[in-house]
Amino acid sequence: MNEQHPQHFLGDTIIECRNVNKWFGEFHVLKDINMKVREREVVVICGPSGSGKSTLIRCINRLEQHQEGQIIVDGIELTNDVSNISAIRREIGMVFQQFNLFPHLTVLENITLAQRYVRQRPRVQAEEIALSLLERVGIPEQARKYPGQLSGGQQQRVAIARALAMNPKIMLFDEPTSALDPEMIKEVLDVMKELARSGMTMLCVTHEMGFAREVADRIIFMDSGRIVEIGTPEHFFVNPRHDRTKLFLSQIL
Amino acid sequence: MSDILRQDELVYVAPTEAPPPRRPPALMVGPLGWLRANLFSSRTNTLLTIITLLIVGWLLVSTGLWALRDAEWTVITSNLRLLLVGQYEPSQLWRVNLLALALLFLCGISISLWAKVTRAVLLTLIVVVLVMIVIPLGAGQLPPPSIRFIVPPDSEPAPLVFVGNAGEPVSVLVEPISSADATAASPVFVGFIENTAGLSNSRSIWNDVKAKAASGALDLSQYDLAFTIKLVDTAGETIASAEATPENPRVRLDAALPADGWYGVIAEKTDGSAGYAWVRLDGVQTFTTQSGDEAERIERYGLIPDTICPVGVRCRQVAERDLRFEGSRNLATYLSVQLVPFLNAVILPVIVGALIALGGSWLGYEVKRRNSVVKKTVSRWVVLAWVALLPVSWFVLRGIEGAATLPVVPTATWGGLLLTLVLTAVAIVLSFPLGVLLALGRWSNLSVVSGACTLFIEVVRGVPLITILFFAKLVVPFFLSASADVDQVIRMMIGLTLFTAAYIAEIVRGGLQIVPHGQIEAAHALGLNALYTTRLIVLPQALRAVIPAIMSQFVSLFKDTTLVSVVGLFELLGIIDFIVNGQQQYRGLQREAYLFVGVIYFVISFGMSTVSRWIEATGVGAARR
């Protein structure tokens, strides 16, 4: 049990990677990845660019396909089976670096679209959920606007609300603050912290070490497609063991 | 010069209060500023502005002068029906009218439901209709131009018939044609000359006389014609008559018409072997042979009585069809001769159409003011009506086999604007979904589907449209052998649809390529399947981006329909050949016909691009980045 975060108790394993390997053409991008994430756990993945961290979390909801090994999410193994993939995607929400909001739909429609077509919720119910989520991320007044009319931070918060509207068990964050102006990073991180405190299972690729130190249960450090070191924040920041990790930390802190 | 920065250079702190914004200098804003910035910004620009204005002005003035002075617009007025519907069965024209009105009504209601009828549009419409009403009223006060026919030495001309009302003064004047007249360089009279098709008409005699007199083959000083000139009424009774003799050739009849009805001018030949005489008729209004006008005339005056025009004699009528204007005109004459008959022919349809369209938009406006439920219901019905319009139109226009009220009108008889619009509408409606499907097929990961779509698109784009139309004409019957002979119009629709679909597919593919991959990933991450992702996320963005290109393809298609004339269909452009070369009295009037048709093409194409710009700027088309 993690002394730093006594507010939530971790559950069973919900994501498991066993000897996952992936190539882009000839390039070996993920090498023998083994890791587990437990329910309600917040895991931050960090590492230099090109280390494969984004690819790893994109494999978990099958935006990328791994070629060897097993990925098991919520007891379902990811295979080419389309029904497996859609079952898993329904359990996983994802937030992208570039937000990827749908520019032709209003904020409200962005959040209700998948609810209506995937979860089959009636429009009124979907809109209620959407509005309460906008309240939660702090921008209820923006519901009728189009994404292009919002600031980057607001757009990313809409993207979080859109993912949450599907009631996912797991949230994946792929560098959610990297495309934001410094003044807007905080508002997104605040939402993420609130989400972490509420007990969401979260897997975040991020360079925000402050966030990692404050919120993460564990930190995974990757380099050149392999996991170099896994540890709690105290272990990672205070007492890293691997030379590559020490080098990385010496450069960013 | 010092090497180090002074203290006041090193540090600057702005005052707490920002200064208030100021207006830009007067010469940079307003119309004057615009002129300076856009037309006279530099010496080169000034020069180019002046040269361009001169060229454009010269073109406009010379075209305008031709159109107002020399052009013979009666060819349009007399052939309006051919230009609009071709040889569509005249007794069934109510179907076309009905559909046109339905279309106008739908346009009206749609515009006020989804856009707004701006005050400018409304004002323009009202002004145009008022001008169309006022010009004929004003020009009706002008004395009608004189009408002439020639009495030749070797035959007796057929009677010239006209309609007149009680009390109208009419005068008939006979005068020999002098050699000075025949050899004059410029026209010697201003007015109509009789030009009936199928007879040895006065205009061809006049041209012949001029040619012979110029070459010296004809001596006009030998004049020995003697004939009786008579003005007769409906019953054939002579109202006035006079003898024109070689000694006293210049005779004049003056009469006030006794009643409403038909009248005739008859030159009864008594003697003579040389010389030509004019018979000039003044104070008579010409009429048109447009079907509506003709029906009205028959109702009011009856048919041409055989007392004036015995059975078996092809009479000359003072109809636009049988007359040709000669000589230069001032504006007043131009208006009464060229514009008024045209306006008279179109004013009723224009007024009815405008009222229906305005009625539709008023209804839309009223609906919009009600609650949103009413608006939603009505909108749904209007959309449904648009969807149903095309198939319904097809059955209404073509008719249904064996139906008494809707007998089949063979598509081979369709022509003019009707055919052009039907071909365009069908090809637009069918090629758009087909093009989108082809684009999605080419875009898809399924290699066979993608390959097949690519092959189709590239083959069609690599072949001239005319080849595809010939292909459609010759090959389609093999594929659709069940319905033994597929009519030409359907074959052309298929050809145009396939051709346009290939181009639409390429345009849409361009649109698909600009949708960022992140959009698809985001949709997948939300659990949307491939179909929903395409329909809800990819296509709306892709299509929105290519609206201008698609609309310009449709404008292109509209103009490409002219090519169906290669298989013998007379669409709007092709029918000119039929009008001008197929009817003797309109020989040589191509310029007028082509200009008129060109204007129609331009107005419709311009309308389409306006709609395109409107879709881009508002509603479903607006970009929201």
> 3-state SS string over B3-17?
CCCCHHHHCCCCCCC
Rounded CA separation B323/B284 (Å): 13
Instruction: Determine how β-strand B191-194 pairs with β-strand A218-223.
Output: unpaired
pLDDT tens digits, one per residue of A23-70: 999 999 999 999 999 999 999 999 998 899 999 999 999 999 999 999
Say whether B486 sits in a helix, a strand or coil. coil
* Residues A117, B528: C-beta atoms closer than 8 Å: yes
What CATH number does the domain located at B409-624 have?
A: 1.10.3720.10
Instruction: Determine contact, residues B286/B341, Cβ cutoff 8 Å.
Output: yes
Rg of chain B over CA atoms, in angstroms?
A: 33
Distance from C-alpha of A101 to C-alpha of A155, rounded to nearest angstrom: 7
When mean pLDDT is compared across A2-6, A104-108, B279-283, the lowest value belongs to A2-6
Residue B469: what pLDDT? 92
- Locate B456 and state its tokens: 């189709």
Q: Is A86 on the interface with B (CB under 8 A)?
A: yes
Distance separating alpha carbons of residues A79 and B129, to the nearest angstrom: 71
Compute the average pLDDT of residues B210-223.
84
CA distance B505 to B507: 5
pLDDT band at B287 (very low <50, low <70, confident <90, very high): confident
Which of B94, B614, B112 minimizes the C-alpha distance to B382?
B112
Edge to edge, what strands does the sheet with B147-151 contain?
B252-256, B169-176, B277-282, B147-151, B191-194, B323-326
Task: Measure the CA–CA gap between B30 and A199, rounded to whole angstroms.
Answer: 62
Residue A237 to chain B, least CA–CA distance (Å): 32
- pLDDT value for A3: 45
pLDDT tops 90 at residue B35? no
Residue A40 confidence (pLDDT): 92
Residue A11 near chain B (CB below 8 Å): no
pLDDT value for B481: 62
Give burial (CB, 10 Å; 0-12/13-18/19+) of B118: exposed
- Confirm or reject contact between B528 and chain A (CB < 8 A): yes
pLDDT, position B485 = 64
* Cβ–Cβ gap A117/B524 under 8 Å: no
Instruction: Write b or e for each residue in B434-446: b if 16 or more Cβ atoms lie within 10 A of its Cβ, otherwise e.
Output: bbbebbbbbbeee
CA distance B597 to B591: 10
Residue from the list B522, B529, B544 with its beta carbon closest to the beta carbon of A100: B522
Contacts of A117 in chain B (CB under 8 A): 528, 532, 536
Is residue A166 within 8 angstroms of chain B, CB to CB? Answer: yes
For chain B, residues classed under CATH 1.10.3720.10 are 409-624
CB–CB of A63 and B526 under 8 A?
no
Contact B266, B230 (CB under 8 A): yes
Token pair of A63 as six digits: 């935006």
Radius of gyration of chain A measured on its C-alpha atoms: 18
Of residues A100, A103, A162, nearest to B521 (C-beta): A100
Which chain A residues have a beta carbon less than 8 Å from that of B527? 86, 89-90, 114, 118, 166
Q: What share of chain B in percent tops pLDDT 90?
A: 35
B531 touches chain A (CB under 8 A): no
Asked if B525 has any chain A CB less than 8 Å from its own CB, the reply is yes
Judged by a CB distance cut-off of 8 A, whether residue B195 touches chain A is: no
C-beta atoms of B624 and A63 within 8 A: no
Q: How far is Cα of residue B179 from the mean position of the Cα atoms in its chain?
A: 43
Q: Please say whether the beta carbons of B344 and B189 come within 8 A.
A: no
Alpha helices in B88-178 (DSSP H): 93-114, 119-139
Over residues B391-440, the pLDDT tens digits come to 999 999 988 888 788 888 888 889 999 999 999 999 999 999 999 999 99
| Best residue in A61, A73, A98, A117 for a mutation probing chain B (most B CBs within 10 Å) | A117
- For residue B319, report the phi and psi dihedrals to the nearest 5 degrees: -100, 150
Instruction: Kindly state whether A61 is in contact with chain B, defined as any CB-CB distance less than 8 angstroms.
Output: yes
Distance CA B320, CA B244 (A): 29
- Give the per-residue pLDDT at B370: 83
Q: Where are the beta strands (DSSP E) in B289-447?
A: 316-317, 323-326, 415
pLDDT at A57: 93
CB spacing of B624 vs A146 below 8 angstroms:
yes
Q: Chain A contact for B28, CB < 8 A?
A: no
Between A and B, how many CB-CB pairs are < 8 A? 65
pLDDT of A112 reads 96
- Predicted pLDDT of residue A194: 93
Residue of A96, A117, A166 lying closest to B522 (CB–CB): A96
To test the contact with chain A by mutation, choose from B376, B526, B535 the residue with the greatest count of A C-beta atoms within 10 A, namely B526
Beta-carbon separation of B624 and A96 below 8 A: no
| B4 close to A (CB below 8 A) | no
In chain A, helix, strand, coil percent, each to 5? 40, 25, 35
For B106-147, write each residue's pLDDT tens digit. 999 998 888 777 788 888 888 988 888 888 777 667 777 889
What tokens does B452 get?
A: 């097949």
Residue identified by tokens 């007891």 is A75
| Set of chain A residues whose Cβ sits within 8 Å of the Cβ of B521 | 63, 96, 100
Global pTM?
0.80
For A60, which residue in chain B has the nearest alpha carbon?
A: B525
Side-chain-side CA neighbours of residue A205 (13 Å):
22
Least confidently predicted of B28-42, B119-133, B240-254, B568-582? B28-42
Confidence class for position A8, pLDDT limits 50, 70, 90: low
Residue A16 in contact with residue A175, Cβ under 8 Å? no
Residue B480 confidence (pLDDT) above 70? no
Compare CB distances from A104 to B523, B525, B540 and report the shortest one's residue: B540
Q: Is A57 on the interface with B (CB under 8 A)?
A: no
DSSP-derived 3-state class of residue B527? coil
A253/chain B closest Cα distance in angstroms? 31
Q: How many CB atoms lie within 10 A of CB B357?
A: 21
A103 touches B: beta carbon within 8 Å:
yes
- Chain B contacts of A149, Cβ < 8 Å? 624
- Checking if the pLDDT of B625 tops 50, the result is no
What residues of chain B lie within 8 A of the CB of A118, using their CB? Answer: 526-528, 532
Confidence of residue B154 (pLDDT cuts 50, 70, 90): confident
Q: Taking CB atoms and an 8 Å limit, are B524 and A63 in contact across chains?
A: yes
- Residue ranges of chain B assigned to CATH 2.60.120.380: 147-328
**pLDDT reported for residue B484:** 53
B244 token code pair? 């024109």
Does A238 contact B at CB distance below 8 Å?
A: no
Q: What's the mean per-residue pLDDT of chain A?
A: 91
Residue B12 has pLDDT above 70, yes or no: yes
pLDDT tens, B226-250? 888 999 988 888 888 888 888 888 8
B527 and A166: CB-CB below 8 Å? yes
Angle at B176 between CA B253 and CA B589, to 5 degrees: 95
Q: How close A168 comes to chain B (CA, Å)?
A: 10
pLDDT at B286: 83
| Cβ-based neighbours of B142, under 8 Å, separated by 6 or more | B332, B333, B335, B336
Cα(B454)–Cα(A54) distance, rounded to whole angstroms? 35
Q: Are the C-beta atoms of residues B564 and B423 closer than 8 Å to each other?
A: yes
CB neighbour list of residue B287: distance below 8 Å, 6 or more residues apart? B162, B163, B293, B297, B317, B318, B319, B320
Could you tell me if B541 lies within 8 Å of chain A, comparing CB atoms? yes
Residues A135-154 have pLDDT tens digits of: 999 999 999 999 999 999 99
Q: Give the residue among A11, A81, A75, A76 at the shortest CA–CA distance from A39.
A: A11
Note every long-range contact of A73-81, with CB atoms under 8 Å and residues 24 or more positions apart, other chains counting. A73/A14, A73/A15, A73/A16, A73/A170, A74/A14, A74/A15, A74/A169, A74/A170
Ramachandran region, residue A177 (left: φ > 0; alpha: ψ -120 to 50; beta: rest): alpha
The hierarchical CATH code for the domain B147-328 is: 2.60.120.380
A121 near A129, Cβ under 8 Å? yes
Integer CA distances (angstroms), B6 to B11, B13, B14, in order: 9, 15, 18
Distance between start and end Cα atoms, chain A: 27
Q: Does B521 touch chain A (CB under 8 A)?
A: yes
A92 touches chain B (CB under 8 A): yes
| Per-residue confidence band for A1, with pLDDT thresholds at 50, 70 and 90 | very low
Contacts of A166 in chain B (CB under 8 A): 526-527
Q: How much is the pLDDT for B622?
A: 53
**List of chain B residues whose C-beta atoms are within 8 Å of the C-beta of residue A113:** 526, 528, 536
pLDDT (mean) for A112-128 = 95
CB nearest to B536's CB, from A92, A94, A113: A113
Query: Could you give the C-alpha distances from B404 to B92, B399, B407, B408, in angstroms and in order?
Result: 12, 9, 6, 9
Q: How confident is the model at residue B620 (pLDDT cuts 50, 70, 90)?
A: low
Q: Give the separation between CA B126 and CA B110, rounded to whole angstroms.
A: 20
**Beta carbons of B527 and A96 less than 8 Å apart:** no
Contact state of A114 with B526 under an 8 Å Cβ cutoff:
yes
**CB–CB of B527 and A163 under 8 A?**
no
Share of chain A above pLDDT 70, in %: 96
- Say how many Å lie between the first and final Cα of chain B, rounded: 52
Tell me how close the Cα of B22 comes to any Cα of chain A, in angstroms.
28
Residue B482's pLDDT is 55
Distance, in Å, from the CA atom of A94 to the CA atom of A163, rounded to the nearest integer, reads 6
Q: What confidence score (pLDDT) does residue B291 get? A: 67
Q: Smallest Cα–Cα separation from B604: which of B465, B417, B415?
A: B417
Q: How far apart are CA B417 and CA B573, in angstroms?
A: 9
Answer yes or no: are the C-beta atoms of B570 and B416 closer than 8 Å. Answer: yes
Cross-chain Cβ contact A100/B625 below 8 Å: no
Residue B552 has pLDDT above 60, yes or no: yes
pLDDT value of residue A35: 94
Question: pLDDT confidence of B219, banded at 50, 70, 90?
Answer: confident
pLDDT, position B122: 86
What is the C-alpha to C-alpha distance for residues A190 and A196, in angstroms, rounded to an integer?
10
Q: For tokens 């007028």, what's the residue? A: B592
pLDDT at B454 over 80: yes
Q: How far apart are CA B451 and CA B443, in angstroms?
A: 10
- Output B12 or B512, whichever has higher pLDDT: B512
Label residue B588 exposed, middle or buried (CB < 10 Å: 0-12, 13-18, 19+): exposed
User: Do B544 and A94 count as a contact with CB atoms less than 8 A apart?
Assistant: no
What number is the average pLDDT over the span B46-74?
90
| Bridge partners of residue A229, in order along the sequence | A221
Positive or negative: CA dihedral A154, A159, A165, A167 = negative
Could you please report the per-residue DSSP string of B551-585?
HHHHHHHHHHGGGGGGGT-EETTHHHHHHHHHSGG
Q: Which residues of chain B does A110 touch, with a Cβ-Cβ cutoff of 8 Å?
A: none
Name chain B contacts of A148, Cβ cutoff 8 Å: 624-625
Residues of B whose CB is below 8 A from A61: 525
Residue of chain B nearest A146, judged by CA positions: B624
